[in-house]
């Protein structure tokens, strides 16, 4: 049995990390040719931007755009790597790294591990969610890895029946929790995933756990 297993970037994520700098560099190299085509359009022929580009030798213009493309591609690749869920699993613990999140979960504190719509979920002995993060790795591989290290794997959320649709002024929760859930729904509608994630974390600390279906939030609480 392996003492340590690594779950990191999926195939698509790895592909994007490798290809992005190359692809954007190639696009940058050929971009001046597109500029030459734009010059022939009367509407743009006399624009200040075109006049500025005319000051450069075409070869060096290609080099500049290529370098810009490579740099943008590298930054994009670093973002993908940072946002990917990375786990190091041993016989005793799960070491997790994603964005600014770094944490260690002891096996003795784990009650259940499962995949819920490509999200890896870890629940502790107090029925709290210690982790709910999306992974691009095949769920079967995730399952096999956790089982190999003796973690309590389950096929579906054991608290599935306890979740229900949250509505405005939900009587189950305090005004503070309802306000946070309202702000989180607005964040989802606005596409502000970072704010929605932070609010989920705050809600978890209050014993409220959220699953999203589109713009709808399904919630359960261990403090009812």
Q: Does the CA dihedral 26-30-32-38 come out positive or negative?
A: negative
* pLDDT band at 154; cut points 50, 70, 90: very high
Tell me which of 128, 148, 168 is where a domain ends: 148
- Residue 153 within a domain: no
For residue 174, CA distances in Å to 152, 179, 195, 206, 215 come to 33, 9, 21, 11, 21
Domain that holds residue 216: 160-221
pLDDT of 81 > 60? The answer is: yes
Cβ atoms 59, 41 nearer than 8 A: no
For residue 141, CA distances in Å to 60, 110, 216 come to 48, 19, 29
Q: How many domains does the chain have?
A: 3
Q: What is the pLDDT of residue 106?
A: 93
Distance CA(37)–CA(56), nearest Å, equals: 16
- Residue 208 within a domain: yes
- Residue 131 within a domain: yes
Q: What is the pLDDT of residue 3?
A: 84
Distance CA(95)–CA(107), nearest Å, equals: 11
Residue-wise pLDDT tens digits, 24-77: 988 888 877 766 665 555 555 556 656 666 666 567 778 888 899 899 999 988
Residue-wise pLDDT tens digits, 88-104: 999 999 999 988 778 89
Check whether residue 71 and residue 96 sit in a common domain.
no
- Residue 154 within a domain: no
The residue with greater pLDDT, 223 or 112, is: 112
pLDDT of 183 > 90? The answer is: yes
């Amino acid at each position: 049995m392996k003492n340590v297993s690594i779950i990191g970037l999926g195939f698509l994520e790895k592909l994007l990390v490798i290809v992005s700098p190359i692809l954007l560099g190639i696009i940058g190299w050929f971009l001046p040719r597109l500029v030459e085509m734009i010059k022939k359009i009367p509407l743009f022929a006399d624009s200040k931007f075109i006049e500025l580009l005319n000051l450069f030798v075409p070869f060096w213009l290609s080099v500049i755009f290529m370098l810009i493309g490579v740099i943008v591609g590298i930054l994009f690749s670093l973002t993908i790597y940072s946002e990917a869920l990375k786990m190091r699993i041993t016989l005793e613990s799960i070491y997790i790294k994603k964005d600014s999140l770094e944490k260690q979960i002891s096996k003795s504190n784990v009650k259940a591990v499962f995949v819920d719509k490509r999200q890896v979920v870890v629940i502790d002995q107090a029925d709290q969610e210690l982790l709910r993060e999306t992974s691009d790795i095949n769920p079967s591989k995730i399952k096999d890895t956790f089982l190999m290290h003796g973690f309590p794997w389950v096929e579906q959320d054991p608290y599935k029946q306890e979740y229900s649709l949250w509505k405005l002024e939900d009587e189950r929760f305090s005004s503070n929790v309802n306000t946070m859930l309202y702000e989180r729904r607005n964040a989802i509608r606005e596409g502000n995933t970072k704010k929605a994630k932070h609010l989920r974390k705050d809600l978890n600390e209050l014993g409220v756990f959220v699953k999203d279906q589109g713009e709808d939030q399904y919630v359960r609480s261990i403090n009812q």
